[in-house]
Structure 1
Amino acid sequence: MLRSLPLALLSVYAVLAFLIGGCGQTQTQQPDFGFTVTPVASIAQPGTSDAETLSFTVVNNFFQDFSGMPYSVFDLSSSTPTTAVFSSTVTSFGPNAVVPLTATIPAPSFSGSHTYRVFLDPQNLVAESNEDNNKADITLVYANGDLFFGNQTVTIAPPNPTSADHIQLTFVVNYQATSTSAGTLSGVPYTVLVDGIAVFTGSLPALTINSTTIVQTDPLPTTGGGVSHIYTIILDPNNLVPETHEDNNTLLTPPVAVG
């Protein structure tokens, strides 16, 4: 009896191995969809009148054909984040297919930041092994206008300063907008730097749509006599105002000789 015990144990192990192996063979793989390239926008700095085209690539990680799979885009920043702003289908989505897609989203109703979610199989029509990789987000900042320097020049008073003088800088700012929803800009900051070091921060006067204003700084102390200095003016240095162009907010003076 004792001699047969090891054989009995082996038989038990064999049965367990068979059952475990059988269970492993009956497991079935589930479909899985995802993104190989997350959304990219056609316009890097869109305005509120611009429709955007998003480009992205999806993959079918399964051996079954899922052609006709729906996908949608949602504006998570809108008042109706569960309403699609674009919907279509993946026309051909065969086994292990990698498919480039596009989605054209309409211009938003308000400026500022918008986060769009591209959702593959948004209604979960197909049960998947991973439901979390069916969506990809992209955030776009829509501008409603543009701040820029009107004549690209700065007037310095006095024109030939000495180290004992305080100087004032005068410049022209334009505000252009294509939509009346842009409204009036109030309290937009600007910064003055001398040789790259900030020495003054002021606020622009209220700017209505398509207006021009003349701005004059407070009197600024000169920095070091007997040398030349470069003054830099930066509009909206912290990008508080979404603009169609952010690269025209800086203006430099020629070297200013201080006696």
Structure 2
Amino acid sequence: MVLTVDVGNTNIVLGGFEDDKLLFVTRLCTDKYKMPDEYAISFKGVIEFHGYSVDKFDGAIISSVVPPLLPTLKKAISSLLGCKVFTVSPGTKTGLNIRIDNPGILGADLVCSAVAAMNRYKMPCIIVDLGTATKFSVLDKDKFFLGVSIMPGVNISLDALSKNTAQLPHIEFENAHTVIGTNSIDSMRSGIVFGTASMIDGMIERLNAEIGQEATVVVTGGIAENIVPHCKSKINTNPNLVLYGLLDIYYKNTKTK
């Protein structure tokens, strides 16, 4: 088995693979102040909760957009699983040809999602990642990574609404059922759900125009399945795209597949 770890600003997503089969996915809160042993205990608990033993893992790979956590998590996983732990960094073999101004600064999560997409979807491709930030990545017909558009994510937008207005409450993200809200909470949910869906449709149209042809679109992230049904564009959903990219990169660097 291979343990894939996607470290984001809000959540750490763990995925356990047997060959190409994703056996389990679980999420933990990202905590920069936890020690390696604390993370090791948490990871052991969730792995065993899903019915698997830590001694069944042959390797692990980490993607992180929180640099201070990387040494901590690498130590935690290495001590827990007793195996080599790979990380996605500028020196890692990915097979991705990056055409941005400084390829070394591209986020590891964006690298992983792009690798997964180029191995699974028709090119050109637009990848929409609905995470802490909302990110649109573009791969051209030759699988070159052209660049990214970044904007505030759904939860950041909700937090900003409540913090910067006197009468709007703090709410958790939930699906909306009507565009026209009849109270503050439903109005906020309508705006965030249908507004995000409309923004995705609009960005897809603009990106297609810029690359000069219609691209395959895949949306990933934990809330993808809540937003995509409200979009008008033809869209594929893959909430665990980064994990599949991590698996692809792991195999590329170990040559075990």
Q: TM-score per shorter chain, which class? A: under 0.3
Task: Give the TM-score normalised by the residue count of structure 1.
Answer: 0.18
Higher strand share: 1
> What TM-score, normalized to structure 2?
0.18
> Which has more helix, going by share of residues?
2
Structure label with greater radius of gyration: 1
